[in-house]
Amino acid sequence: MASAVPAPLPEKLVDRHGRAITYLRISVTDRCDLRCRYCMAEQMTFMPRQALLDLQEIALIAERFIARGVRKIRLTGGEPLVRRDVMELVARLGHSLGQGLDELTLTTNGTRLAEHAGALFDAGVRRLNVSMDSRDPERFRHITRHGDVAQVLGGIDAAAAAGLAIKINMVALKGLNEQEIAPMLAWCVEQGHDLTLIETMPLGLVDEDRADRFLPLTEVMDDLRTRFDLQFEDRSTGGPARYWRVAGTNIRLGLISPLTGNFCASCNRVRLSTDGKLHMCLGHDDSVDLKAAFRNGGLAEVDARISQALDLKPAAHDFRIERGAAPAVARHMSVTGG
Ligand code: SAM
Ligand code: SF4
């Protein structure tokens, strides 16, 4: 890939609520090799390939964000590792580590991790989030509609062997995996992985009513506290998670509970969607079109649009899970990047 076109250094990113934006999440594809029930419908219509930012455009735009103070980038999707040549993008962004960028990371479903773990480490990636809602083969297959958990477990082992720290993401699903949450934490302690539990969020239509599967993490914590000695960590990461340490270990339990605990006041992140829209909040529809800006006016226009976007960042999301209610936003998590 060609290198970035130099441009004058624009001002840092601070939104109208005074929050500094230091974290960019990029959905590199809305496609995926799984169909998790809370995330996607079984029959999904994906974006036409010509609607996508190409990898060179993603790199150039990401580098503008780094020039303006973004210190952490997460590649996500859809499944980031199903995009052809994505490792070229990872390698390119890796060159910004230590040059403004402190961390480059991915969220992945792990199915292709065994293949890519070594190259991820070589590019400078040191931590990964791997989503795994169940370790039971049948239940995993049911939740993902056709996934093979052995592939994911193999990917996790390969990543750990390559030197990558792992955080397991697990969406808490009533009647599906709730009985597996405590065993999952015990397994993570044994394996040396962190665990983050996530409440299901109302993003995009799926084939089921999310209200039927919504499991408040407040309930989950009541149960976990009877089984583990959990010590609350009073630290703000600018992210949605709150953390507990499992006493006597280095393992951290994170909770992402947008429904039962709002975290927006310290939000430090924005999201670049697969088709080049900059979303200032996962829970709102407002966005600016950086793909059009880039194709019409180059990086100067991208900078101008990013500055405008700062005024769009809302104070908070407005998620609710109610039976029969429409999703808070129509787009799926896979488009904006979870
Ligand atoms: N495919 C990759 C994966 O599954 O890790 C990356 C993209 S996925 C959209 C990112 C994270 O969002 C995953 O941990 C997934 O479980 C979570 N997720 C997807 N849809 C969600 C929803 N409606 N509510 C809460 N979490 C969701
Ligand atoms: Fe794919 Fe991740 Fe969504 Fe599951 S959660 S369908 S793995 S994008």
Asked whether the predicted pLDDT for residue 321 surpasses 90, the reply is no
CATH of the domain at 328: 3.20.20.70
Nearest ligand by distance to the CA of 258:
1
| Residue 108, ligand 1, Cβ within 6 A | yes
Tens-digit pLDDT profile for residues 6-42: 555 667 888 888 888 999 999 999 999 999 999 999 9
Mean pLDDT score of the chain: 89
Q: Is residue 11 part of a domain?
A: no
178 within some domain: yes
- Tell the residue nearest (CA) to atom 11 of ligand 1: 338
Cβ distance 182 to 223 under 8 Å?
yes
Give 201-254 pLDDT, tens digit per residue: 876 677 777 778 889 899 999 999 999 999 999 876 667 789 999 999 999 999
What are 298-316's pLDDT values in tens digits?
A: 999 999 999 988 877 666 6
The range of the structural domain enclosing residue 200 comes to 23-336
Atom of ligand 2 nearest to the CA of 334: 8
Number of domains in the chain: 1
User: Of the residues 26, 27, 166, 171, which should be mutated to test ligand 1's pocket, given the most ligand atoms within 8 Å of the CB?
Assistant: 171
Q: Is residue 3 included in any domain, yes or no?
A: no
Name the closest ligand to CA 337. Answer: 1
For ligand 2, the distance from its centroid to the CA atom of residue 18, given in whole angstroms, is 33
CA of 301 from ligand 1 middle (Å) equals 31
Ligand 1 contact, 283 CB (< 6 A): no
Distance (Å) from CA 126 to ligand 2 centroid: 22
Whether residue 209 is contained in a domain is answered as: yes
195 in any annotated domain: yes
Quick check: is 53 in a domain? yes
* More reliable by pLDDT, 85 or 312: 85
- Flag whether 4 is in a domain: no
